[in-house]
Amino acid sequence: MTIVEAARALRTRELTVRGLWDACAAAAHARNPELNAYLEIFPADDSAIESAQKRIDENDPSLLVGIPLAVKDNILIEGKVASAASKMLENYRATYDATVIKKLKDAGALFLGRTNMDEFAMGSSTEHSAFGPTKNPHDTSRVPGGSSGGSAAAVAAHLCIAALGSDTGGSIRQPAALCGIAGLKPTFGSISRSGLIAMGSSLDQIGPLTKTVEDAHILYEAIRGLDALDSTTIPDGLYGAHELPKRLRIGVPRHLLGEGVEAEVLALFDTTLEKLEKEGHALVDIELPASAYALAAYYVIMPAEVSTNLARLDGMRYGHAARGDTLLDDYLLSRTEGFGPETRRRILLGTFVLSSGYIDAYYRKAQAMRSLLRAEYDKAFEKVDAIMTPTAFSVAFKFGEKSDPLSMYLEDIFTVTANLTGMPAISVPMGSVEREGKKLPVGIHFTAPHQAEELLFTIGEAVQRTS
Amino acid sequence: MATAEEVKKLAALARIKISDEELETFTREFDAILAYVGQLEKLDLPQGAEHEKPALHNVMREDGEPHATGIYTEKLVEQFPAREGNALSVKQIITHDEPE
């Protein structure tokens, strides 16, 4: 059931808020032992359910009233544990609501549970969770993608109506693609990150994972906006107004699709292109030469920011606190026991690229590359309205298949550019490929200029209609 | 390319302990990752681009109306691993004793 369908059923009295909650909670409890999508399924909040029902009875127009949502474990809900799927924060209870949670509470939404993820949002498969991986509902021998894999699996398996995730290099869009749902990474600054456990502060954005593009639009509208608690949030219209032409010009960087993309994924991509062309949209060949270096720049900038952000977790004020003989031992033990291997790897990488002998060769070069990439995209958007690629190389891979870190990092190749440029991007299902008798979904990815989310919703719905 | 010595030093700087076994794996993986991100060296950048101010910069909020003193104290203090009243209790670092 989608947000739109559930909201309608609540209003036609086909369903009560309690009935909807119970149905979602029952489904979550029944299937979670198999999928491990939720780290915790919350008990029913009777007063929230009653007040939502009252709002329905009073014909409240908010479509989110009484809708049970799943929330990624790095977004704070006051009084609930927010562990970022790490031993470090296993027992950390949020002392305040994230701004997005506050907004959703005001809109009448309910929270079903907190979802599994790669530790501190670092990974593309949820295999880096300290609490065991999430399984892909389409084939439980395969990963759901990551890092928002728990949210994606919960939505795809109907263990909630919709979910929130966060996206630093593709962490909403890649799991959305691998689980066959819609996922939006909004413009940097459009949604407050107050109350999001920080990973890469110049890259992180919160966004929706939903069954339809329309639902993503509803959730996005509910959580966006300027926030005094996050100075990186931006006002409407900062990047100027965007026209929404009937006939869209869609840019296709064919040169980026040469290596690595599976033949069946490419075939679906071409079919989708044809369908869009038939719908009256224009396809334009474009070249984005700097994009080839985007992933390299990302794997310098992101770990640099990770090592800085995670320095605050030292076993002193909150989180895992191991004690040794000296204060230095306290730090060393707390951080060594608290962080998993991938987190430690990225902290070390970040420490390396920021160290005095290497900062020019790596970090400053990557920052310069980032400006170049942004200029390249700005230029491309003079000729086209959106840029289209597959979301990932392939269908969901099997557990353990990408055990060396670099091959896992390559999963982000089509998605990181949107984080580096701050531009919005969406992944929408474009069909499926059969593997070992199972249908595995494939996603298509569109990037638009800053604050042109409306365009992504329009084009996403066009794909949804035809696939 | 990274040496085990370098990785060890980085770990010390980052306040992380690495076992000998892990050190070998980390060093090997580091090499592969650095070789990959090393592509950046091939990129032709405009003169001085590395020292341009990045597009993003910090924005400070004006000091405004503060919230009432103490309304968050108990919640925050509850997260402390060890407390003395409302103070965070940590190991003594400075001593008045003569060094041994």
Structurally, chain B folds into a number of domains equal to 1
Contact B91 A366 (CB under 8 A): no
Tell me the chain A residues in contact with residue B30 when contact means C-beta distances shorter than 8 Å.
348-349, 352
Assess whether pLDDT exceeds 90 at residue A184. yes
Stated length of chain B: 100
Residue B93 domain flag: no
Return the pLDDT at B49: 67
Contact B50 A367 (CB under 8 A): yes
Average pLDDT of chain A to the nearest whole number: 96
Q: Token pair for residue A99?
A: 């701004």
Q: Which residues of chain A from 404 to 433 reach within 8 Å of chain B, CB to CB?
A: 404-406, 409
Secondary structure, 3-state, chain A: CCHHHHHHHHHCCCCCHHHHHHHHHHHHHHHHHHHCCEEEECCCCHHHHHHHHHHHHCCCCCCCCCCEEEEECCECCCCCECCCCCHHHCCCECCCCCHHHHHHHHCCCEEEEEECCCHHHCCCCCCCCCCCCCCECCECCECCCCCCHHHHHHHHCCCCCEEEEEECCCCCHHHHHHHCCEEEECCCCCECCCCECCCCCCCCEEEEEECCHHHHHHHHHHHECCECCECCCCCCCCCCCCCCCCCCEEEECHHHHCCCCCHHHHHHHHHHHHHHHHCCCEEEECCCHHHHHHHHHHHHHHHHHHHHHHHHCCCCCCCCCCCCCCHHHHHHHHHHHHCCHHHHHHHHHHHHHHCCCCCHHHHHHHHHHHHHHHHHHHHHHHHCCEEEEECCCCCCCECCCCCCHHHHHHHHCCCHHHHHHCCCEEEEEEEEEEECCEEEEEEEEEECCCCCHHHHHHHHHHHHHHC
Domain hosting B36: range is 4-42
Residue B97 domain flag: no
Return the pLDDT at B57: 73
- The tens digit of pLDDT for each residue in B28-39 reads 998 889 999 989
Tell me the chain A residues in contact with residue B6 when contact means C-beta distances shorter than 8 Å.
352
Q: How does strand A68-72 pair with strand A110-115?
A: parallel
Residue B62 domain flag: no
Q: Which residue of B has its CA nearest to A290?
A: B43
Between chain A and chain B, the number of residue pairs with CB atoms below 8 A apart is: 138
Return the pLDDT at B67: 87
Residue B67 domain flag: no
Contact A355 B18 (CB under 8 A): no
Residue B61 domain flag: no
- A147 as an active site residue: the answer is yes
Assess whether pLDDT exceeds 60 at residue B23. yes
CATH number for the domain spanning B27: value is 1.10.20
- The tens digit of pLDDT for each residue in A319-364 reads 999 999 999 999 999 999 999 999 999 999 999 999 988 888 899 9
B71 lies within 8 A of chain A by CB = no
Contact A367 B39 (CB under 8 A): no
A355 lies within 8 A of chain B by CB = yes
Averaged pLDDT, A197-226: 97
- A190 as an active site residue: the answer is no
B1 lies within 8 A of chain A by CB = no
CA A387 distance to own-chain centroid? 19
Return the pLDDT at A269: 97
Q: Token pair for residue A279?
A: 């719908």
- A171 as an active site residue: the answer is yes
Q: Which residue of A has its CA nearest to B73?
A: A95
Residue B98 domain flag: no
Averaged pLDDT, A197-216: 97
- The tens digit of pLDDT for each residue in A114-155 reads 999 999 999 999 999 999 999 999 999 999 999 999 999 999
Return the pLDDT at B1: 65
- Domains of chain A by range and CATH? 3-223 (3.90.1300.10)
Stated length of chain A: 467
- The tens digit of pLDDT for each residue in A359-397 reads 888 999 999 999 999 999 999 999 999 999 999 999 999
Residue B31 domain flag: yes
Least confident of A175-189, A218-232, A325-339, A399-413: A399-413
Least confident of A54-58, A259-263, A278-282: A259-263
Residue B78 domain flag: no
Cis peptide before A166 (omega within 30 of 0): no
- The tens digit of pLDDT for each residue in A405-451 reads 888 888 899 999 999 999 999 999 999 999 999 999 999 999 999 99
Return the pLDDT at A360: 86
Task: Pick from B1, B40, B47 the residue to mutate for testing the A interface (most A CBs within 10 Å).
Answer: B40
Q: Which of A83, A86, A125, A147 is catalytic?
A: A147
Helix, strand, coil % over all residues of chain B, rounded to 5? 40, 5, 55
Residues A151, A111: contact at Cβ < 8 Å?
Answer: no
